[in-house]
Structure 1
């Protein structure tokens, strides 16, 4: 277990990406959630924008709720919309509180960050819910360096969720400044896109991995190195992609994780150079 920054929560190094159970039958959802909990996963992340994932995850998690940490998000930027999504998420997920609640996918400083902190913005709802004990810890997920840094300057967030991927790092140093700032503030750092490789061409329909909007790494050898790299960057956990087979691969590879050798780092650099970064 790792400590999730200033939250003090003890979290499993692999987190469960809730989109995994989207469109599953109840029995399927219960099975994969139970398998994950038995493996030792205790951090579950979901969002209203993940299709019907909340409705599927809630009943499956109900038997384990007191033993796990549940994170949710709102993609809406106004207080009213954020309240509506919060209430709906609580209902779907069969809980009366969230361990972590996040602003979802902030990307643009004006349209996302400034909007949520403006009068009538989503942060009003989030802070009211925190006072009421409905939200224990407040965070955000970010898809751009500028938005993440701007958000960190607006509020003392408990958690930061962002892509921490060797492909993005070796191509663009995508995460470096945000990780540095988050660590200074003792934010719990939650990694996304550990197994991301190529950006999928616009308009191309996924054939194999329909719940991923990018092309994921499914070669176990590269995936193992990718996990080693991400989990060595000072993050508390890495949330799985939205495909059951990739979650299972991460679980199977976890016992093999190790400190990367120089030759393994060179392997990752060469692999990254041949990819089209997703951001």
Structure 2
């Protein structure tokens, strides 16, 4: 079974590998339902989806029928205003056939404008607070693709969790991530990880080998699993692997047999990271 770690101030347990909604995007409903059932059988209880993931919500809703009470369901919104975020929240609840989300997140917070709109008057954060009071969401979080915006968000609101790229190449070659991990720990905010198995950027004009990955994932099982173990050796609760099913299966093996990365393995990763362009970096 996939190992579990505590989430939030109440310390409820989440599988250290999360099921990203992109895994069921563009799949037949029968296959989507099979993938969800298989994941739950393996001990995965953390599911994360968003309206921006194509038809993922439409596929995940039916796949989770009669399974909802045993999982931790996280959703997100790219909307930055109170009214639009409320509309999108209601729509996501309907598609996912549930009356509440365990975690609702501001999605892909990247720019200063994102920050100002979402946290300002009539911003999306007001919807989150209202929804929590009404029992529609249990926890409030955000995902970010910017160190600066992540740090500012952690300072202005008492978030329950942050979903952030925690990646070996970003850490070694981009100085992207360590400062966010430190701040989240100081604020006692749970850290959820993205992009653990990412390798580098895809050069402009080059075709994607994996359509569901906008970056170049590690297509070498041993290295991919080592990179994931690097991420899970940081103070994170869980990591969501890439949306391609092959990588998810590799991640499950790590989740079942996780051991912290060793000093020797860290050196291997540093050597392998040399000359790789990080998918995110601090400019």
Fold similarity call, TM over 0.5: yes
**Matched residues in 2 for 1:73 and 1:176: separation?**
24
Q: Which residue of 1 aligns with 2:155?
A: 153
**2:137: which partner in 1?**
135
- State the distance in 2 between where 1:240 and 1:96 align: 27
The answer for unaligned runs of 5 or more in structure 1 is: none
Say which SS state the counterpart of residue 57 (structure 1) adopts: helix
Aligned to 2:215: 214
TM-score (norm 1): 0.96
**Which of 24, 29, 33 is 1:30 aligned to?**
33
| Residue 277, structure 1, aligned to residue 278, structure 2 | yes
Q: Distance in 1 between matches of 2:223 and 2:126?
A: 43
Determine if contact 2:132/2:139 at 8 Å carries over to the other structure: yes
1:61 aligns with 2:68: no
Q: Which residue of 1 aligns with 2:174?
A: 172
How far the C-alpha of 1:204 sits from its partner, in A, is 3.1
Residues 221 and 89 (structure 1), Cα distance of their counterparts in 2 relative to 1, 3 Å cut:
same
Give TM-score scaled by structure 2 length: 0.95
For residues 44 and 260 of structure 1, what CA distance do their matches in structure 2 show?
25
Q: Which residue of 1 aligns with 2:81?
A: 78
Looking at structure 2, the residues matched to 88 and 7 of structure 1 have their Cα atoms a distance apart, in angstroms, of 28
Counterpart among 95, 98, 106 of residue 98 in structure 2: 95
Kindly state the Cα deviation for residue 7 of structure 1 after the two structures are TM-superposed: 4.8
Secondary structure of the corresponding residue to residue 101 of structure 1: strand
The count of aligned residue pairs is 277
Which of 104, 107, 111 in structure 1 is aligned with 2:107? 104
Moved more, 43-52 or 165-174: 165-174
The question of 1:17 aligning with 2:29 is answered no
